[in-house]
Structure 1
């Protein structure tokens, strides 16, 4: 069995058009398909137990969101993320995320603040131990939940949805792999400070911390990319 077909069999059966879209998107986010790999409608449909129609619609949606690209006369292939993609995602995050953090400071409730504090403390604890694949996964999960709580609390569904779509890309998880111990420690401190800003209902402070937080991640990613692609 070809490698691409074996990967397809790890995807769960789908029940609706939305299920098909989510299943393929999760497979892409989990790097089950390699960059540049062609996605065949017939194989996907067979793996998911559906007709080709919902698969075709899911691929159209994923193309519009930038996960895949359609090549006339060739088919649909997994998008290979580039340095320009990274720059565009960080630019968009800098426009949206600080604004949502500022709004969240004025709206967020006590239960969410308690959860944010617990997540921030957990990330501080992670930085106190050597980095491992397991600790990276734990950091990624805690960080994702942390920021999702804040952007949801801002109560702007459209911006929240746009931001979540950007953060689901494999490129974002790669950000955490690029972090040095110093990067993780800085990021953990910023999480703690952001909780303080939210607790004090200080929108300007929350916006400033979030902006610095994103700029730090941007520097780590673009810096590593430059090092890995430095001319010999």
Structure 2
């Protein structure tokens, strides 16, 4: 994308609409600026390769450039954006290698946490997981729309957050969350076919059953299968979109 044309009138309007509810700078910490920009990135309000200008972001948010600059440094460290010397900061364009690295990392961490969760999770959490699994299954029976995909993404995120938090390993949980907050993870759900979504929903019920039975090996195994199926959906979509005509 040409940096000179990265902020047209439409994108400025979208950014302003997304962030207009932020309170004045004097009453909010720098973390809120970071979270506001991160939410806009997660919502694909900026295109891959688009340059983010401190002055324009500061104006949209109603803040000085200092908290914006710090937020962009944090987002760079987390892999959401990349800094190019003499050019500026631009939205990271995710590659197939990025996808493979994230799924490889998830396979190393998430099944382990699911196994630990099977030994520690509270009954109330299991009931909440079952409710979320029911909700995701219901979504698979409706036509696929932007709204249904968003509902699925939200329910799925809460489901897995409950499981990994129950393992009671805050460091691994934080590491996993930083990977799963990337736009690439949301893109995974867009890559799912109706069959993929239904299979994923069934796997959520199996995860619940494994946790309910306090079976760590089962929880680990089904979580590993769940992640591998998601990876296949992403790789298949990439292959479809990059086939020569």
How many positions carry a matched residue from both structures? 232
The C-alpha deviation readout for 1:188-225, integer Å capped at 9, x for no partner, is 11000000000011111000000000000000110110
CA contact (8 A) 1:66 1:79 kept: yes
- Residue matched to 2:114: 101
Q: Secondary structure at the match of 1:9?
A: helix
CA contact (8 A) 1:7 1:33 kept: no
CA positional deviation for 1:120: 0.8
Taking structure 2 as the reference length, the TM-score comes to: 0.91
Q: Return the alpha-carbon distance in structure 2 between the equivalents of residues 132 and 18 of structure 1.
A: 32
CA contact (8 A) 1:8 1:43 kept: no
Match of 1:89 among 85, 92, 102: 102
**1:138 pairs with 2:145:** no
**1:219 pairs with 2:232:** yes
Q: After superposing the two structures, state which structure 1 stretch, 39-48 or 141-150, moved more.
A: 39-48
The C-alpha deviation readout for 1:95-121, integer Å capped at 9, x for no partner, is 111011011111110110110011111
Q: How does 1:61-210 map to 2 (within 5 A)?
A: 61-210=74-223
CA positional deviation for 1:129: 2.8
Unaligned segments of structure 2, at least 5 residues: 1-7
Q: Secondary structure at the match of 2:45?
A: coil
The C-alpha deviation readout for 1:22-60, integer Å capped at 9, x for no partner, is 111111001111111111111111222222111111111
Q: Return the alpha-carbon distance in structure 2 between the equivalents of residues 118 and 9 of structure 1.
A: 36
The C-alpha deviation readout for 1:142-175, integer Å capped at 9, x for no partner, is 1111001101111111111121121111111111
- Residue matched to 2:16: 9
Q: Which runs of 4+ in 1 moved over 6 A?
A: none
Taking structure 1 as the reference length, the TM-score comes to: 0.96
Q: CA RMSD in A?
A: 1.3
- Residue matched to 1:34: 47
Q: Return the alpha-carbon distance in structure 2 between the equivalents of residues 8 and 120 of structure 1.
A: 33
Unaligned segments of structure 1, at least 5 residues: none
The C-alpha deviation readout for 1:71-90, integer Å capped at 9, x for no partner, is 00000001111111111111
